[in-house]
Structure 1
Amino acid sequence: MADGDNGMERRDFLKTAGAATAAATTTATAGCISSLTGGSGGGSLVYARGDHPENYDPQQTTSGEVAKVTNQIFDQLIQFQPGSGGQLSDGLAKSDGWTLSGTTATLELKEDVTFHDGSDFTAADVKATIRRFTDENYQYYLGTENASGYAGFTFGNWVDSIDASSEYTVEFTLTQKYAPFLRNLAMFAAAILSQDQITSLDDQTALGTDPIGTGPFSFDELDNSNQRVRLAANDDYFGDGPNVGEVIFKTIGQNSSRAQDVVNGDSHITDNLGAESSTTIEEADTAQIKSKPGINTGYMAFNMARKEAFRDRRVRRAISLAVNTEAIVNDIYQGFAVQTGQPLPEGVMGRNPNVEPYPTDKEQAQSLLEEAGQTDIEFELATFSNPRGYNPSPIQTANQVKSDLEEIGLSVNINQFSTFSSYLDYTSAGNHDACFLGWYTDNADPDNFLYVLLDPKVDMDAVPDGQDWVSFDTEGYSTLNVGGWANTEYMQLVRDGQSTYDEATRKQKYQQASKLAHDEAPWIFVDHAKTIRAINEAVVSDSFTVSSVGGPYLELVELQ
Structure 2
Amino acid sequence: MTILDLQQIKEKDYHNPRLKGKQVKLRKLWTGVAIAAMFGGVLVTQPAKAADTSLVIGSVLDIDKTDPHTATNFATVRGLGLVYGSLIEIGAKNALKGGLATSWIFSKDGKTLTLNLREGVKFHDGSTFDAEDAKASLERILDTKTGAAARANIATITSIKADGRKLILTMSIPNAPILAALEGVNMAMLSKADIDAGKIGGSNKPNGTGPYKWVSWEPTQSLKLSANADYFMGEPKIKDVTIRVIPTEASILSALNAGTIGMGIVTDPLIARQVKSNLKMFKTPALGYYALQFNTKVAPFNDKNVRLALQCAIDRQELINTALLGQGQVTGPITSPAYRSDVNARPCPKQDLAKAKEYLAAAGKSSGVTFKTLVTSTGWATSVAMAQNLKAQLAKANITMELDIVEQATYVPRWLAADFVATLANNGGRIDPDTMYTRYFTSTGNLNKVASYSSATLDANFIKGKASGKVTERKGAYTAISKELEDNAVWVWLATPYEYRVATKKLRGFSALANGSLLQLRSATLG
Q: TM-score range by the shorter chain?
A: 0.7 to 0.9
**2:506 counterpart of 1:538:** yes
**Which letter does structure 2 place at the counterpart of 1:273?**
T
Cα deviation, 1:6-48, whole Å, max 9, x if unaligned, reads xxxxxxxxxxxxxxxxxxxxxxxxxxxxxxxxx9995211111
Match of 1:503 in 2: 471
Work out the CA distance in 2 between the residues paired with 1:513 and 1:178: 17
Matched position secondary structure for 2:82: helix
Match of 1:149 in 2: 149
Work out the CA distance in 1 between the residues paired with 2:166 and 2:205: 28
**2:326 counterpart of 1:335:** yes
Q: Check conservation: 2:62, 2:245, Cα contact below 8 A.
A: yes
Inter-CA distance 205–345: structure 2 relative to 1 (3 Å threshold)? closer
Inter-CA distance 267–184: structure 2 relative to 1 (3 Å threshold)? same
Match of 2:521 in 1: 554
Inter-CA distance 450–214: structure 2 relative to 1 (3 Å threshold)? closer
Q: Check conservation: 1:428, 1:480, Cα contact below 8 A.
A: no
In the TM superposition, residue 490 of structure 1 has moved relative to its aligned partner by: 3.1
**Which letter does structure 2 place at the counterpart of 1:303?**
N
In the TM superposition, residue 501 of structure 1 has moved relative to its aligned partner by: 3.5
Inter-CA distance 79–550: structure 2 relative to 1 (3 Å threshold)? farther
Matched position secondary structure for 2:134: helix
Cα deviation, 1:250-272, whole Å, max 9, x if unaligned, reads 11232222222222222222223
Q: Check conservation: 2:433, 2:478, Cα contact below 8 A.
A: yes
User: Which residues of 2 match residues 330-479 of structure 1 at below 5 A?
Assistant: 330-340=321-331, 342-345=332-335, 347-349=337-339, 351-352=341-342, 355=345, 358-375=349-366, 376-386=368-378, 388=380, 392-419=381-408, 421-442=409-430, 444-453=431-440, 455=441, 457-458=442-443, 476=444, 478-479=446-447
Q: Check conservation: 2:292, 2:422, Cα contact below 8 A.
A: yes
Match of 2:12 in 1: none
Work out the CA distance in 2 between the residues paired with 1:58 and 1:40: 35
Inter-CA distance 484–57: structure 2 relative to 1 (3 Å threshold)? same
**Percent identity over paired residues:** 22
Match of 1:79 in 2: 89
**Which letter does structure 2 place at the counterpart of 1:311?**
N
**Which of 116, 122, 131 does residue 130 from structure 2 map onto?**
122
Q: TM-score, normalised by structure 2?
A: 0.85
Match of 2:212 in 1: 217
Q: Check conservation: 2:286, 2:516, Cα contact below 8 A.
A: no
Higher relative contact order (CA 8 A, sep 6+): 1
Match of 1:250 in 2: 244
Q: Check conservation: 2:149, 2:186, Cα contact below 8 A.
A: no
In the TM superposition, residue 523 of structure 1 has moved relative to its aligned partner by: 1.2
Inter-CA distance 135–236: structure 2 relative to 1 (3 Å threshold)? same
Q: Check conservation: 1:110, 1:168, Cα contact below 8 A.
A: yes
Work out the CA distance in 2 between the residues paired with 1:119 and 1:270: 34
Matched position secondary structure for 1:348: helix
In the TM superposition, residue 221 of structure 1 has moved relative to its aligned partner by: 0.7
In the TM superposition, residue 58 of structure 1 has moved relative to its aligned partner by: 0.6
Matched position secondary structure for 2:81: helix
Inter-CA distance 272–491: structure 2 relative to 1 (3 Å threshold)? farther
Q: Check conservation: 1:350, 1:506, Cα contact below 8 A.
A: no
Inter-CA distance 348–546: structure 2 relative to 1 (3 Å threshold)? same
In the TM superposition, residue 236 of structure 1 has moved relative to its aligned partner by: 1.2
Work out the CA distance in 2 between the residues paired with 1:523 and 1:433: 12
**Which letter does structure 1 place at the counterpart of 2:150?**
Y
Work out the CA distance in 1 between the residues paired with 2:266 and 2:516: 16
Match of 2:30 in 1: none
Work out the CA distance in 2 between the residues paired with 1:135 and 1:450: 20
Cα deviation, 1:299-354, whole Å, max 9, x if unaligned, reads 10111112x221222211111111222111112101221112x2123723253375
**Which letter does structure 2 place at the counterpart of 1:222?**
W
Q: Check conservation: 2:142, 2:148, Cα contact below 8 A.
A: no
Cα deviation, 1:120-152, whole Å, max 9, x if unaligned, reads 11111111112222236xxxxxx24xx233123
Q: RMSD value over aligned CA atoms? A: 2.3
Match of 1:110 in 2: 118
Extract unaligned runs of 5+ from structure 2: 1-48
Work out the CA distance in 1 between the residues paired with 2:272 and 2:313: 30
Q: Check conservation: 1:287, 1:537, Cα contact below 8 A.
A: yes
In the TM superposition, residue 394 of structure 1 has moved relative to its aligned partner by: 0.8
In the TM superposition, residue 52 of structure 1 has moved relative to its aligned partner by: 1.2
In the TM superposition, residue 382 of structure 1 has moved relative to its aligned partner by: 0.4
Inter-CA distance 48–532: structure 2 relative to 1 (3 Å threshold)? same
Inter-CA distance 158–100: structure 2 relative to 1 (3 Å threshold)? same
Inter-CA distance 209–100: structure 2 relative to 1 (3 Å threshold)? farther
| Structure with the greater alpha carbon radius of gyration | 2
Work out the CA distance in 2 between the residues paired with 1:544 and 1:182: 25
User: Which residues of 2 match residues 145-184 of structure 1 at below 5 A?
Assistant: 147-153=147-153, 155=154, 157-164=155-162, 166-184=163-181
Inter-CA distance 493–172: structure 2 relative to 1 (3 Å threshold)? same
Q: Check conservation: 1:85, 1:549, Cα contact below 8 A.
A: no
Matched position secondary structure for 2:208: coil
Count of aligned pairs:
475
In the TM superposition, residue 509 of structure 1 has moved relative to its aligned partner by: 1.4
Inter-CA distance 42–172: structure 2 relative to 1 (3 Å threshold)? farther
Matched position secondary structure for 1:117: coil
With 117-126 and 403-412 compared, the bigger mean Cα shift is at: 403-412
Match of 2:281 in 1: 289
Match of 1:193 in 2: 190
Cα deviation, 1:500-542, whole Å, max 9, x if unaligned, reads 34432211111122223222211111101222221122322xx
Extract unaligned runs of 5+ from structure 1: 1-38, 137-142, 459-475
